[in-house]
């Protein structure tokens, strides 16, 4: 047996800082799982199995990355196991205002050990424990007596930690959450093993309430659909907790795929071919993805699904919209199917070829990525909005940049190109977010409708954010010709992103009726015979 990953142990500081603006302790205490009780529950204090009917209090589900519970070793048969050598750390009395765990690490092999600064060493103590002992301490601190499914989910994410204690004193005035929570989202979404594991996806997306426990900071998050509960308003609530609480029938494929492409799994190509084929056969919202580039031209963290030779229509070259997306069914809906060669066949009389050009302003310029310039453009955009309120973009000097900002707001994608109808003013242009450059592409009549949470603020301070319905935005999938005559693929196409039509909240569209929206786009582009697009 050999060590595969060494020292994957967790450091837990008992005097944690909360990322919530208000004290959520009572909300956690009041969270119950209803009258139902499982046949058995696990009592944390001694890890004994007890009959569920004997338990009157609530109980929680535990979610964590398996390989962070000890040393990952490879056995002689090639399989992996996790050996707990009791090197998890419980830290007492650490002064959060004088340092942070990111600067107090030893060698890379011992990065989960704590080295105390001279100013705090006399106050802090450290105890090495097994993973079970660590969980017992965490559950004791957060008043959790029993584990199963599920009063709420307890997510152990040691990558979540404090960067600067001052961030806990600052509250974002626009969304009423602590500035420190911004870094937490980065830790959770880009660094944590927990976020990248397929077996935690169901736990994430089925949870109405989650307690995230990091190394020295924690976060309680409640579904927006539960009234009078203080909820941080950012994509964690909009994507994850909203998935399990949609009043219109659950989350969407796009929300799952926005994470699935970053799982770190092995030997899953066959499984994923079946997975994508099943999805696309029933739901073309899989085509709702955009560019994977940041403002400075750098790529989003590595997409692990690129290793499995998946076709373009799965979105592996871009990013899927994290919000709920549905394929709006209308009489224009094209016929589609997936063949055994993983080719997506779409047949329709309604399609439109458009000429597009790259954005050449601010953050989206291929020549300039000046973040200060872009921040100033956003400030100007918000000032215009504050004066006019949501309205059609009527100023030609600002039209393109306003569309680019709006697309980023509603989708998280950066606009890479735009389409301006011939002989039309720039105010009639629309942005696209594409995974590769082109000067001509095709838009298809599959109307993709996204749902953005709307929140209302209460009068109290700090104000609560409560669910107040949805704003809707509309997109169309974009494809381009793909020619590789050497391999006999002439006449095939690639899926390369989305075309943003706008939304009703900003009065971009004159109607919220899907048929009327599609007719406004494709009414003059109906062809006498259906064309089959073979997308690889």
Question: What does the pLDDT look like over 148-163, one tens digit per residue?
Answer: 876 788 888 888 877 7
**Between 232 and 224, whose confidence is greater?**
224
| Whether 256 contacts 205, CB under 8 Å | yes
| Whether 69 contacts 96, CB under 8 Å | no
What string of DSSP letters covers 358-382? E--SGGG-SS---HHHHHHHHHHHH
Q: How far is CA 324 from CA 173, 208, 242, 360, 510, in A?
A: 26, 16, 8, 30, 23
For residue 351, the Cα-to-chain-centroid distance in whole angstroms is 31
3-state class (DSSP) for residue 10: coil
pLDDT confidence of 237, banded at 50, 70, 90?
A: low
Residue 161, pLDDT score:
78
Whether residue 4 has pLDDT greater than 70: no
pLDDT confidence of 500, banded at 50, 70, 90?
A: very high
Question: What is the C-alpha to C-alpha distance for residues 256 and 230, in angstroms, rounded to an integer?
Answer: 25
Dihedral of CA 275/279/281/285: which sign? Answer: negative
| Cβ partners under 8 Å of residue 450, min gap 6 | 288, 321, 323, 324, 325, 410, 411, 472, 473, 474, 475
Question: What does the pLDDT look like over 61-78, one tens digit per residue?
Answer: 888 887 788 888 877 777
Whether residue 320 has pLDDT greater than 60: yes
Query: Which among 294, 286, 295, 293 has a CA at the least distance from the CA of 321?
Result: 286
State the chain's mean pLDDT as an integer. Answer: 77
Residue 353, pLDDT score:
94
3-state class (DSSP) for residue 33: coil
Exposed (0-12), middle (13-18) or buried (19+): which is 404, by Cβ within 10 Å? Answer: buried
Whether residue 23 has pLDDT greater than 80: yes
Whether residue 481 has pLDDT greater than 80: yes
Residue 27, pLDDT score:
81
pTM score above 0.85:
no
Question: What is the C-alpha to C-alpha distance for residues 414 and 144, in angstroms, rounded to an integer?
Answer: 42
Q: How far is CA 44 from CA 64, 154, 378, in A?
A: 16, 13, 50
What would the mean pLDDT of 355-362 be, rounded to a whole number? 77
């Amino acid at each position: 047996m050999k060590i595969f990953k060494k020292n994957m142990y967790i450091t837990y500081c008992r005097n944690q800082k909360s990322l919530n603006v208000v004290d959520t302790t009572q909300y956690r205490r009041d969270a119950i799982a209803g009258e139902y009780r499982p046949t058995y529950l696990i009592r944390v204090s001694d890890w004994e199995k007890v009959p569920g009917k004997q338990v009157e209090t609530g109980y929680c589900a535990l979610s964590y990355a398996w390989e962070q519970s000890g040393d990952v070793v490879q056995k002689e048969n090639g399989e992996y196991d996790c050996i707990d050598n009791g090197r998890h750390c419980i830290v007492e009395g650490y002064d959060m205002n004088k340092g942070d765990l990111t600067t107090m690490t030893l060698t890379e092999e011992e990065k989960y050990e704590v080295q105390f600064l001279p100013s705090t060493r006399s106050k802090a103590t450290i105890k090495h424990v097994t993973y079970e002992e660590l969980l017992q301490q965490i559950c004791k601190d957060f008043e959790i007596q029993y584990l199963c499914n599920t009063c709420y989910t307890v997510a152990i994410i040691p990558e979540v930690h404090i960067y600067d204690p001052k961030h806990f004193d600052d509250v974002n005035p626009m969304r009423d959450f602590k500035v420190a929570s911004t870094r937490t989202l980065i830790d959770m979404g880009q660094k944590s093993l927990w976020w990248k594991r397929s077996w935690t996806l169901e736990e994430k997306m089925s949870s109405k309430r989650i307690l995230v426990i990091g190394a020295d900071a924690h976060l309680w998050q409640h579904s927006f659909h539960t009234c009078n509960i203080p909820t941080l308003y950012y994509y964690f609530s909009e994507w994850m907790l909203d998935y399990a609480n949609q009043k219109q029938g659950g989350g969407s494929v796009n929300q799952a795929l926005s994470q699935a492409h970053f799982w770190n799994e092995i030997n899953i190509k066959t499984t994923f071919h079946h997975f994508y084929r099943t999805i696309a056969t029933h739901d073309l919202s899989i085509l709702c993805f955009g560019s994977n580039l940041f403002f400075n031209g750098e790529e989003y963290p590595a997409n692990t699904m690129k290793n499995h030779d998946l076709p373009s229509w799965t979105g592996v070259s871009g990013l899927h919209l994290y919000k709920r997306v549905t394929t709006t069914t209308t009489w224009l809906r094209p016929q589609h199917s997936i063949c055994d060669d993983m080719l997506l066949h779409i047949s329709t009389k309604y399609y439109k070829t458009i000429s597009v050009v790259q954005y050449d302003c601010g953050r989206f310029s291929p020549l300039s990525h000046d973040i200060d310039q872009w921040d100033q453009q956003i400030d100007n955009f918000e000032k215009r909005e504050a004066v006019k309120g949501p309205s059609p973009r009527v100023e030609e000097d600002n039209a393109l940049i306003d569309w680019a900002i709006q697309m980023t707001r509603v989708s998280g994608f950066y606009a890479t190109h735009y389409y301006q109808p011939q002989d039309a003013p720039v105010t009639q242009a629309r942005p696209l977010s594409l995974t590769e450059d082109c000067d001509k592409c095709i838009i298809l009549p599959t109307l993709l409708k996204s749902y953005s949470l709307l929140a209302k603020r209460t009068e109290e301070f700090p104000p609560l954010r409560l669910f107040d319905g949805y704003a809707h935005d509309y997109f169309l999938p974009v494809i381009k010709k793909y020619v590789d005559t050497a391999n006999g693929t002439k006449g095939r196409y690639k899926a390369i992103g989305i075309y943003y039509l706008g939304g009703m909240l900003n009065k971009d569209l004159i109607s919220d009726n899907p048929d009327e929206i599609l007719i406004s786009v494709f009414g003059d582009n109906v062809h006498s015979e259906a064309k089959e697009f073979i997308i690889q």
